[in-house]
Amino acid sequence: MARKTFQLQTEPHVAEIGDAELLLRPEVMGDEFLDMLEELQATYRDLGVDLGNLAALNAEQLKPAVAAVRRFLAGFMLPESAELFAGMRLPDRIPVELLEWVIEIYGGGSRPTGSSSGSATPSPPLGSRGSASSRSKASTRARGR
């Protein structure tokens, strides 16, 4: 008989930003995550934001898009951290990196093992591209290959 043990995260995830620690909920139910992600994606569609061409964004699109990302992120934070995050002035790269990490921990990507105090790996700087293929291309192989 096969046996597998599943662990539930009980300690909040910790995002360290400068001297501040933002606490994120230990677990989020899948449908809640998906609903919040769909809302973020709908906002991007309504704004005409093309995630494949962020360089083409104008100020009219960028401001509400950044606000939508911050609302999305705050939705996963414990109340005190969400309040702190709402008032933080941050360079745009921080919410983007935090968004990637939140999607990783709640969206079924590889979850951090051990302590939740580990930090996410930094994203590459905007404008530079790595040589690896994107996840979306890698996950959907073309016919005949």
pLDDT category of residue 15 using cuts at 50, 70 and 90: very high
User: How much is the pLDDT for 37?
Assistant: 94
Q: pTM (2 decimals)? A: 0.70
Instruction: Please identify which residue in the block is written with the tokens 């105090």.
Output: 117
Report the DSSP pairing between strands 13-17 and 20-24: antiparallel
User: How much is the pLDDT for 107?
Assistant: 87
Q: Tell me the per-residue pLDDT of 48-98, one tens digit each, with 9 for 90 and over.
A: 888 777 778 888 888 899 899 999 999 999 999 999 999 999 998 999 999
Q: Tell me the per-residue pLDDT of 93-140, one tens digit each, with 9 for 90 and over.
A: 999 999 999 999 998 764 333 333 343 444 444 444 444 444 444 444
Convert 47-96 into a string of H (helix), E (strand) and C (coil): HCCCCCCHHHCCHHHHHHHHHHHHHHHHCCECHHHHHHHHHCCCCCHHHH
User: How much is the pLDDT for 92?
Assistant: 86
Q: Which residues contact 100 (CB under 8 A, 6 or more apart)?
A: 120, 123
